[in-house]
């Protein structure tokens, strides 16, 4: 009966988190490009290590980035993981600064072993977020069409429910796969309002609403090689194939003279690759590096090819546990740190019609894992500083401070009780 109640609580939390995902949790002007800001798919421990995940195997945490890692769970354990983020952002164009604060419920997932060498995971997490509200005033001296105001507004995003399995094929080698249902709605509005019609130009409002429903698949593999009792390495790799997304898209353009409606239905997500390497010493020290590449440059968006740049990311991370049996509170904590450099997929257009990569991103992070007293459960706390740098003078710089809170419930559900 206790386990049934716990399962009901898990399902309720999943429903509630789905409601929270629908809320706007970003204010970045860069989210006007494509599907918006791509979400970090890592959980609490990964966020503290700069996103390190592809080569990470941890029986105490769920790692959906590489489904091959699911097999690290032991036979008696049921894991339930959820995470939150508090975010403070500063935007600057060199002269004006704007501050915004957001919060979000990031993910919820559960994991358990089906049988020896086979594990199952079910989770709900975001794929992308859109949220911006911009306005630009043009005067006669800047544009021959006359005084006018251009406004941009957008919100929404994509979310995913995933079901994944991991399997041990032979000693040290595991494979896994996630099947995800991807859904969401993105709304974008662009308006141009002229102060007069003397120039012959007409004001207009263009609204685009896209509703996406589709399935995507992610595949992963990990190989663990142990040199001796205390030293081992893990090599991991993941692949997500290119996918054409089912959608309903409605474009409406209203001007002072015409009303035009159109339907556009070609959207794609790219081929994505990642490789990771970690080294572990005595199960107390772990260091690793990941490299990820997403070929957005080959993906079609709203019937347009070459709408994006390829996305790449390098992550470095470390985790250290002073002692298995800590004599003090601080010696029983796991300490984590990391850094990353990435090139987002945003592509902007210059005044001369040329296209270029809109931004670069850099981030550092640090955190701790706090074991709960008389429990196998863990609280993961981390802080992350990230800077997004615009690649032209007319693009904004963004500085983020994120506080990530992850809670991992670790229960021994499948232990058999003995009566003496």
Which residues are bridge partners to 399 per DSSP?
90, 387
State the maximum Cα–Cα separation within the chain, in Å, rounded to a whole number: 95
- Residues near 222 by beta carbon (within 8 Å), at least 6 away in sequence: 55, 57, 66, 68, 69, 173, 174, 234, 235, 236, 237
- Using alpha carbons only, how large is the chain's radius of gyration in Å? 24
- Residues near 220 by beta carbon (within 8 Å), at least 6 away in sequence: 54, 65, 66, 67, 68, 69, 166, 175, 176, 177, 236, 237, 238, 239
CA distance 296 to 304: 12
- pLDDT category, 194, cuts 50, 70, 90? confident
Global pTM reads: 0.88
Helix (H) or strand (E) holding 329, with range, is none
- pLDDT category, 414, cuts 50, 70, 90? low
SS (H, E, C) 134-201: EEEEECCCCCCCCCEEEEEEEEEEEEEEEEEEEEEEECCEEEEEEEEEEEEEEEEEEEEEECCCCCCC
Give the residue with greater pLDDT, 338 vs 377.
338
- Residues near 261 by beta carbon (within 8 Å), at least 6 away in sequence: 250, 251, 252, 253
* Structure tokens that stand for 128 in this block: 């992308």
The pLDDT value recorded for residue 316 is 97
What is the tens place of the pLDDT at every residue in 261-320? Answer: 767 678 999 999 999 999 999 989 999 999 999 999 999 998 888 999 999 999 999 999
* Nearest Cα residue to 3 out of 83, 84, 112: 112
Sign of CA dihedral 23, 27, 28, 29: positive
Give the residue with greater pLDDT, 149 vs 196.
149
Sign of CA dihedral 244, 63, 230, 50: positive
Q: What is the four-CA torsion angle of 219, 407, 160, 49, rounded to 10 degrees?
A: -50
CA distance 76 to 68: 19
* Nearest Cα residue to 81 out of 134, 51, 129, 42: 42
The pLDDT value recorded for residue 198 is 53
Residue found by looking up tokens 């004006």 in the block: 96
Which residues are bridge partners to 274 per DSSP?
238, 292
- Residues near 302 by beta carbon (within 8 Å), at least 6 away in sequence: 208, 249, 264, 266, 267
What is the tens place of the pLDDT at every residue in 85-121? Answer: 999 999 988 777 889 888 888 899 999 999 989 999 9
CA distance 19 to 39: 17
Domain 2-125+159-181+210-245+264-411 has CATH 2.40.160.60: yes
What spatial distance separates the first Cα and last Cα of the chain, rounded to whole Å? 23
Coil/strand/helix, residue 330: helix
Coil/strand/helix, residue 300: coil
Cβ-in-10-Å burial (0-12, 13-18, 19+) of 26 comes to buried
What is the tens place of the pLDDT at every residue in 200-253? Answer: 667 888 899 999 999 999 999 999 999 999 999 999 999 999 999 999 888 888
The pLDDT value recorded for residue 110 is 94
- Domain spans of the chain? 2-125+159-181+210-245+264-411
Report the half-sphere exposure of 345 (CA within 13 A, side-chain side): 28
Give the residue with greater pLDDT, 151 vs 16.
151
Average pLDDT over residues 321-327: 79
The pLDDT value recorded for residue 10 is 53
Whole-number mean pLDDT of the chain? 86
* Structure tokens that stand for 298 in this block: 């080959």
What is the tens place of the pLDDT at every residue in 119-160? Answer: 999 999 999 999 998 887 777 655 556 677 888 899 999 999
The pLDDT value recorded for residue 416 is 54
């Amino acid at each position: 009966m206790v386990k049934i109640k716990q399962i009901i609580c898990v399902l309720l939390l999943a429903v509630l988190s789905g409601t929270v995902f629908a809320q706007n949790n970003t204010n970045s002007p860069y989210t006007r490009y494509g599907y918006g800001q791509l979400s970090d798919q890592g959980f609490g421990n990964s966020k503290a290590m700069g996103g390190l995940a592809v080569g990470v195997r941890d029986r105490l945490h769920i790692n959906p980035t590489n489904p091959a890692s699911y097999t690290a769970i032991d036979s008696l354990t049921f894991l339930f993981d959820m995470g939150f983020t508090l975010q403070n952002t500063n935007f600057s164009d060199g002269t004006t600064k704007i501050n915004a604060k957001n919060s979000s419920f990031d993910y919820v997932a559960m994991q358990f072993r089906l049988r020896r060498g086979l594990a199952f995971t079910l989770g709900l997490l975001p794929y992308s977020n859109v949220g911006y509200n911009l306005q630009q005033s043009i005067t006669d001296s800047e544009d021959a069409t006359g005084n006018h105001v251009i406004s941009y507004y957008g919100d929404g995003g994509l979310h995913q429910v995933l079901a994944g399995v991991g399997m041990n094929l032979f000693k040290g080698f595991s494979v896994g796969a996630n099947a995800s249902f991807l859904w969401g709605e993105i709304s974008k509005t662009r308006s141009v309002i002229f102060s007069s019609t003397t120039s012959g130009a007409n004001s207009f409002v263009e609204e685009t609403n896209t509703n996406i429903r589709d399935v995507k698949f992610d595949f992963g593999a990990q190989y663990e090689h142990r040199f001796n009792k205390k030293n081992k390495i893990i090599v991991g790799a993941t692949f997500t194939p290119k996918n054409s997304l089912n959608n309903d898209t409605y474009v409406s353009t209203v001007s002072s003279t015409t009303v035009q409606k159109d339907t556009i239905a070609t959207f794609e997500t790219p081929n994505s690759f990642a490789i990771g390497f970690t080294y572990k010493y005595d199960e107390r020290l772990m260091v690793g590096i990941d490299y990820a590449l997403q070929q957005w440059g080959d993906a079609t968006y709203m019937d347009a090819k070459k709408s994006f740049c390829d996305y790449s990311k390098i992550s470095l991370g470390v985790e250290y546990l002073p002692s298995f049996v800590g004599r003090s509170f601080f010696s029983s904590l796991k300490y984590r740190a990391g850094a990353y450099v990435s090139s987002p997929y945003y592509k902007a257009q210059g005044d001369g019609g040329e296209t270029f990569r809109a931004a670069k991103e850099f981030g550092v992070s640090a955190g701790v894992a706090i074991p709960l007293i008389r429990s196998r459960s863990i609280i993961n706390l981390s802080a992350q500083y990230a800077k997004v740098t615009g690649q032209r003078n007319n693009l904004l710089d963004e500085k983020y401070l994120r506080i990530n809170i992850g809670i991992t419930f670790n229960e021994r559900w499948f232990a058999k009780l003995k009566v003496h």
